[in-house]
Amino acid sequence: MDAKPAVVELGVLIYPGAQLAAVHGLTDLFAVANRVAAEHQSAQLPRLRVSHWQVEGDQPPVRDHDSDPGTDAGLVAVVIPPSIGGFSAAQVPAGLIHWLREQHARGATLGGVCVGSMLLAESGLLDGRSATTHWTSAKAFAERYPHIKLKADTPIVDDGDLITTAGLMAWSELGLRLVDRLLGPSIASATARFLVVEHSDSASACGSNFAPILNHGDAAILKVQHWLQGNGATDVSLTAMAERAGLEERTFLRRFRAATGLKPTEYCQHLRVGKAREMLEFTNGTIDHIAWTVGYQDPGAFRATFRKITGLAPSEYRTRFGNLTPPHISR
């Protein structure tokens, strides 16, 4: 008897003013991804289960749609669609804020599209982190959330457990990012081709953007992962990580690898290279400066690690995937 594939659930939030085209578009995108994955006939690929969560008053969201009813194993991701008008961050229900924090604490990745990123900002989870939002909301966002590093000129900020996008129609790219994480870059690319939508070539060409495993159920290790995401894994030590987890070092090493599939040093390398990839794509900073920013004192060590993970030198990566023109050099 063939083993049934694992099921992973992605929740799509419906709040007052949410763009329903994004809600149903994401639902269709994940359905297409399931069909493409099924054509590969790989029992190792999970099946995506999509649920809609309706915000009603000040209560936590309630499930009002499920594409594959069954045992509730917890959400691996929550997507907050954009709003096309009438959204006020000051009126976000307390029940929704608590629910978002709860899902994050359980290991779900949270993604906000356009002004949907404001809901993440209201939760406080983005404090001290980088994020983006729609250009029309950038000024108000920066004023209301001074502790968030706003990158208004960056179309998507993938910070592992928290992802924000700037465009009103960027729900498709966020959806494809999640497909890439859960089903792999080839399935994400095939899904994009079927839907005839753009998808970043960097993931499929250089391996997926780093997708940390967060829904493993080890609260002590998840606490350290969230901490590493917040500080960019710069200037951290095994001792500091073990202390953050409240574990003896040997126990921490064993449980960290069991939960994430990586040694702490490897995990930190992937985090740093992921941030470097974003900077190479969306900024004109020098490679040495980027190396220093993501935590490498030795640019040579950074270049070696970057090539090991992506297969390209940083300069080659920027040439292929950079979204900015080189700065003008006066003669």
Residue 153's region, left for phi above 0, alpha for psi from -120 to 50, else beta, is alpha
**CATH of the domain spanning 219-321, picked from 1.10.10.60, 3.40.50.300, 3.40.50.720, 1.10.510.10:** 1.10.10.60
Decide which of 79 and 74 is more confident.
79
Chain-centre distance of CA 79, in angstroms? Answer: 10
pLDDT at 204 over 60: no
Strands (E), 194-250: none
Domain ranges of the chain: 7-205, 219-321
> Residue 3 has what pLDDT?
57
CA dist., res. 122 & res. 323, Å (int): 30
**CATH of the domain spanning 7-205, picked from 3.30.1330.30, 3.30.1330.10, 3.40.50.300, 3.40.50.880:** 3.40.50.880
Give the C-alpha distances (Å, rounded to integers) separating 155 from 69, 72, 136, 225, 279.
34, 33, 13, 24, 12
pLDDT at 238 over 90: yes
**Residue 264 CB partners (closer than 8 Å, separation 6+):** 238, 241, 252, 253, 256
Partners of 50 in the β-ladder: 10
Decide which of 226 and 330 is more confident.
226
pLDDT at 199 over 70: yes
pLDDT in tens, 93-140: 889 999 999 999 999 999 999 888 999 999 999 999 999 998 888 999
